[in-house]
Chain A
């Protein structure tokens, strides 16, 4: 008999909590080792993909305009996926808005407090995801205009998915990366995990809850993380200003990376186009309109 384990760490600008539920946890040593490995993925992806680490591979790539740069597999995968989402959403999702985020004040390393800004990069305001090309054969990336890459949503989702693979042998587990969740198997009561959706009007309250198993749940909202002058951190990349078509967007999908990216895109698109996007990809979601009307896909797993 072993109790489950819960551990948290400060990673990727948020608190990451991993729980392995009791019954399936196995002996405590193998459980602890799986959790160690799961956390290692977060460190690895943060090291590679963070905009807030000056020497991250992502930042080195951002400063190499014009020539093909061979990148690591995780960076390549994250970027290629982000560009696919950008294309699929006609730019409602765009990984090239890092400079705009910095200018709005999202330029601080959460752990050290140090300002990390790419002032040397005179980002071209016309630059977009179309200015990044990836070459799968050589695993290289070319930036055709000066721009600052930001893989925020995608990288965190990827890290959660990688961590989930480490925890798969324990079958019942949960990963919470600052409100981006992956829920494996069943909760300690032997039921599907129940996930509350934060109310964008009052973040201390829950708007709804969902029952999920082996699924990711991610929510994009502008109720936290204000920058300078009250700017919010979710921009509409097409207009380069704060997205205001929705109050929040929640996506339930088999992968956290997919859920996170689609939640971001759906938030930017607003209820109507956002739900159409989710339906097209066969995932469930719930979007809160700017006047707080709650709209969900038909199959949303309401509790």
Chain B
């Protein structure tokens, strides 16, 4: 009499998976523990890096550093955008997150003259990704992007596929959902195109 498993090329494995039940791990618990451990180990480092970045970045425009690029106000549709280096006064009793003792005190925000970051008008930029390239036209008014459209598109994907992106930049996409799950790699090209266009819009 033949066991059904005996025809399997990996009888012991099939057996183990079906009935012997090797110990299955609780991935949820394991994942949480991993995050906690990684967080504890990198905590000081990351805080320091963030503060360094903050102090380096505040005085200057954000678009030069690809890693630190800020699409900041592009995604906000209503409220007029705050100047990036907002100089609101901070109440003395404002909650301050705990700061590791070794960290240098952060420089107090320096009052800055609010200047325009971008010129008004239309600007374009090219973005590239492995799917191809596209040209984006943005309109800036009072330091805000009021429209962003794909002007030319040479990607393997149709213009419709990425058309959802400019819509999101201007009005947070769909009024019905807050976010969308699912990869959006062709957004990279669009993104770089916007960055290029913003550079062109610098005074």
Contact = CB atoms under 8 A, between A and B. Distances in A.
A88 B27 contact: yes
Contacts of B39: 162, 165
B70 interface: yes
Contacts of B68: 9, 39
Given A28-B86, A28-B88, A29-B90, A7 B183 contact: no
A21 B131 CA distance: 34
Given A10-B66, A179-B184, A283 B191 contact: no
A258 B54 contact: no
Interface stretch (A55-63, A117-125, A246-254, A291-299): A246-254
Interface in B6-47: 13, 17, 24-28, 30-32, 34-35, 37-42, 45-47
A36 B54 contact: yes
Contacts of B69: 8-10
B38 A194 contact: no
Interface string B153-166: 00010001101100
A73 B25 CA distance: 21
A70 interface: no
Contacts of B160: 204
Nearest to B174: A196
Nearest to A110: B188
Interface residues of B, number: 74
Interface in A193-250: 193-198, 200, 203-204, 206, 209, 217-221, 223-227, 248, 250
Interface in B167-202: 174, 176-188, 191-192, 195
A26 B86 contact: no
A191 B129 CA distance: 36
A193 B179 contact: yes
A283 B28 contact: yes
A150 interface: no
Given A74-B41, A108-B130, A206-B180, A158 B35 contact: yes
Interface of A: 2-3, 5-11, 13-15, 17, 19, 26-30, 32-34, 36-37, 39-41, 43-44, 72-74, 77-78, 80-81, 84-85, 87-88, 90, 105, 108, 110-111, 113, 158, 161-162, 165, 169, 174, 176, 178-181, 183, 187, 193-198, 200, 203-204, 206, 209, 217-221, 223-227, 248, 250, 253-255, 257-258, 261-262, 280-283
22 contacts: A7-B70, A15-B71, A15-B188, A27-B91, A27-B94, A30-B97, A33-B54, A43-B49, A44-B46, A85-B27, A165-B39, A176-B179, A179-B182, A219-B181, A221-B182, A224-B186, A226-B130, A250-B182, A254-B32, A258-B31, A281-B26, A281-B27
